[in-house]
């Protein structure tokens, strides 16, 4: 009898300790699962800013590639895992979504960035909940930079190497052709850039010139970024080459613009002379008919 009475109080006395131990166990289990998750989303954010942001925004519109807002609801997780990790292999295997995406993006492929499986997982954790990562309350936006006014002739000279790049990078012409430039054309290691302005779009090309987010170019231009003036000059150069379909030497380009500038003004003037009185005539004619 006595011993039984003693046992009950002991379990009562132990109960709080047991509860506490249980709570601690649960809490540590919770922390063990929640901790790394939050951490991978943070990690994903860091990788995104370093490797993706030059081509993608999250809710800021398209750059070189599509806006990635809610991409994790648009696509299956398994597809995203393989595509972000090895987009080139997906394309080579004829994956229908990858093929369609390429067509929708003017045949600009997403490069294989050599990410590890765990980096891709972190990126997905971040893309699933961009606002939740770190203390960041704002989502990353397109890296906007206001460029100074650009100049065609300077862009041409930077492209050909007639003027050296400030950062010490090699001239574009060593690896790229553009609009049949020069007597022998440019190099062929990189793609032909005649239509690059419309292929990447102005926001995409602007970002590309500021960051060179393409694997080969990134390696060549590490620590040798273009300065804002060079970016602006090349942007104007590419826009004009795209519009004309050819890269005119600066002197020809200037003459061409004088010619079309003057011709355009003459045409405008002629149009005014020809059409203005006629329209007035036809109005008075219409009034006369009404009466």
Instruction: Return residues touching ligand HEC (CB under 6 A).
Output: 51-52, 54-56, 64-66, 68, 71, 75, 80, 83-84, 101-102, 105, 108-111, 113, 115, 123, 169-170, 172, 174-176, 189-191, 193, 196, 199, 208, 213-217, 220, 234
- Distance in Å, CB of 142 to ligand HEC, minimum: 13
* Between 91 and 246, CB nearer to ligand HEC: 91
- Please identify, using beta-carbon distances, which residue of 172 and 248 lies nearer to ligand HEC: 172
Beta carbon nearer to ligand HEC, 35 or 114: 114
Nearest approach, Cβ of residue 18 and ligand HEC (Å): 47
CB of 252 to ligand HEC, least distance (A): 21
- In angstroms, give the least distance from the CB of 290 to ligand HEC: 59
Residue 208 or 248 having the CB closest to ligand HEC: 208
Smallest separation (angstroms) from ligand HEC to the CB of 205: 6
Choice between 114 and 267, CB closer to ligand HEC: 114
- Backbone φ and ψ of 104, nearest 5°: -70, -20
């Amino acid at each position: 009898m006595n011993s039984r009475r003693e046992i009950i109080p002991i379990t009562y006395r132990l109960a709080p300790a047991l509860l506490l131990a249980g709570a601690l166990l649960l809490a540590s289990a919770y922390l063990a699962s929640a901790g790394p998750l939050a951490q991978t989303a943070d990690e994903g954010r860091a990788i995104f800013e370093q490797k993706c942001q030059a081509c993608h925004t999250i809710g800021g519109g398209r750059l070189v590639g599509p806006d990635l807002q809610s991409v994790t609801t648009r696509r299956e997780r398994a597809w995203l895992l393989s595509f972000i990790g090895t987009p080139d292999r997906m394309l080579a295997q004829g994956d229908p979504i990858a093929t369609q995406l390429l067509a929708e993006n003017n045949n600009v492929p997403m490069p294989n960035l050599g990410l590890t499986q765990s980096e891709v997982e972190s990126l997905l954790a971040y893309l699933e909940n961009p606002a939740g990562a770190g203390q960041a309350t704002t989502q990353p936006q397109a890296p906007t930079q206001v460029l100074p006014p650009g100049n065609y002739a300077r862009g041409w000279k930077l492209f050909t190497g007639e003027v050296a790049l400030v950062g010490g990078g090699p001239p574009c012409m060593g690896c790229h052709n553009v609009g049949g430039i020069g007597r022998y054309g440019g190099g062929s290691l990189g793609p032909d850039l005649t239509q690059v302005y419309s292929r990447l779009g102005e926001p995409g090309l602007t970002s590309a010139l500021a960051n060179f987010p393409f694997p080969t170019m990134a390696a060549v231009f590490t620590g040798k970024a273009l300065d804002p003036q060079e970016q602006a000059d090349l942007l104007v150069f590419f826009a004009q080459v795209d519009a004309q379909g050819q890269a005119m030497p600066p002197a020809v380009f200037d003459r061409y613009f004088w010619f079309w500038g003057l011709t355009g003004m003459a045409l405008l003037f002629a149009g005014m002379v020809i059409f203005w009185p006629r329209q007035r005539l036809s109005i008075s004619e219409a009034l006369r008919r009404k009466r």
